[in-house]
Amino acid sequence: MTAIRRVLVANRGEIARRVFRACRMRGVSTVAVYSDADADSPYVAEADMAVRLGPADARESYLRADLIIDAALRSGADAIHPGYGFLSENAAFARAVMDAGIVWIGPPPEAILAVGDKQRARDVAKRAGVPTFPGHEGDDDDASLIAAAARIGYPLLVKAAAGGGGKGMRKVGAASELLDAIASARREAEAAFGSSKLILERCIEHARHVEVQLLGDTRGHVVALLERDCSLQRRHQKVIEECPSPSIDAETRVRLLDMGVRIAKAAGYVNAGTAEFILAPDGALYFLEMNTRLQVEHPVTEEVVGVDLVGWQLAIAAGEPLTLRQEDIVPHGHAIEFRLYAEDPSNGFLPQPGRIVDLRLPQGPMIRVDACVRAGMEITGWYDPMIAKIIVKGADREEARRRLSAALAETVVLGIRTNTAWVKSVVDGDAFRDAAIDTTWAERTLSATPYERPEPGEAAWVALAAFLAAGGAPGASTGGTAPARHPTPFYATDGFSLVRGGAP
């Protein structure tokens, strides 16, 4: 076994803080890396050491493998955790880390190559006897994709072969839309993952998105830590995730978990990963892709199963055996996660960069907040607009749903627009209460009834009153210490505006 004493997290924000927490639990010191845009971010100050990578542009900072490895060597880090996004599923980066004599906290490069690429992952699934749905994983020049689309039929999905998170993905309803979708997907995939390679997949209407959390050690032992349901999506990005899935019964669960384990074993998978599936309206399961990294939504699994996934990532990377047994993995209650985005639901969910003047995040029993924000902090347009995750747990799904509704009512962000009020309207609605939401529900609902900004709730008015009573300085109502940089003529929370006089 290998002793890990110092871990560099090749990422930013809340996931960096999450890994730091697991490291502290094991007595491991931490190293943060940051771009110029993140120099004042809380995660940088939280680490034992911090190293600047470069400019705000991820291509000159978080996507520079050479800079990250150099930072690890200069800081004395003996291991690198990639978090999610950026280079987390890049086999060449994993290999370069290992070649530099640094422990890679993730699957081996061979496993990333086997299933991290969507094309190869489908081949692995077929060898493991797991169903996949019609698609095209061959040549991805425009002519080949046009010909393949004609064979597959519409609607279909154009998808980035590398990475995940909905980036580089476009739904195409007709042949006339295909070339534009290919061009925009290529641009986004190249910017997000450093690869413009694309695949095509048949789009199954009214499907559910379910995924299996997997852990594997270096001895070939693999366990499935239940499943998550991620059907509530917007532009192919998950908004709410829950564990266990309300969409499947016990028999389907056994079948789903077995499929995930078979794929992982066929790929020689080690460390944490997630096998994603589509559940068709007729009950058929189809393998979608495998994410060779920790997922954004891993907290709901941790809360229901009672397992520290990041802690196990560190242990497995150090060569420790996985002691979890499949028969011991049972659900305890129900957990739901909400992704708090800096975006405006009333304006096409466009990202909303700006300064957080003040904020109030929920607290209380069975509520977990994974965040890296503070009053006075600038939310830039350089990175993903997710600014926090709120995770709640209940004895059953309905108790968790009610607790999430209450937590959303307590969530207030002043200075930028967020998706909080829109998500609360969803959580309080019949479709979510009845677990009747599929992957295209949000688009259908919003196109039928455009979202309008609600009136401010009680929590928002209380927060604003406290903010103004304290003199209107950033952090005033939450005990923050960020200095005021300039007056602001209005403050926005939960997708609506609270008007206040003042010079811009």
Q: Assess whether pLDDT exceeds 50 at residue 70.
A: yes
Over residues 253-267, mean pLDDT: 97
Over residues 369-393, mean pLDDT: 95
> How large is the angle between the packed helices 298-305 and 309-317, nearest 10 degrees?
100
Residue 154 CB partners (closer than 8 Å, separation 6+): 172, 173, 174, 175, 203
pTM (2 decimals)? 0.84
Read off the pLDDT band of 119 (50, 70, 90): confident
Is 15 strand, coil or helix?
A: helix
- In this structure, the number of other CB atoms found within 10 A of the CB of residue 210 comes to 25
Segment 269-304, tens digit of pLDDT: 999 999 999 999 999 999 999 999 999 999 999 999
Q: Assess whether pLDDT exceeds 90 at residue 448.
A: no
Predicted local confidence at residue 475, as pLDDT: 57
Predicted local confidence at residue 138, as pLDDT: 77
What domains lie within the chain, and their CATH numbers? Answer: 6-105 (3.40.50.20), 106-133+204-332 (3.30.470.20), 134-202 (3.30.1490.20), 333-504 (3.30.470.20)
In order of 170, 282, 474, 483, the CA distances from 376 in angstroms are 35, 50, 5, 7
Predicted local confidence at residue 164, as pLDDT: 65
Segment 335-358, tens digit of pLDDT: 999 999 999 998 888 999 999 999
User: Which residues are bridge partners to 272 per DSSP?
Assistant: 215
Predicted local confidence at residue 443, as pLDDT: 83
Over residues 222-242, mean pLDDT: 93
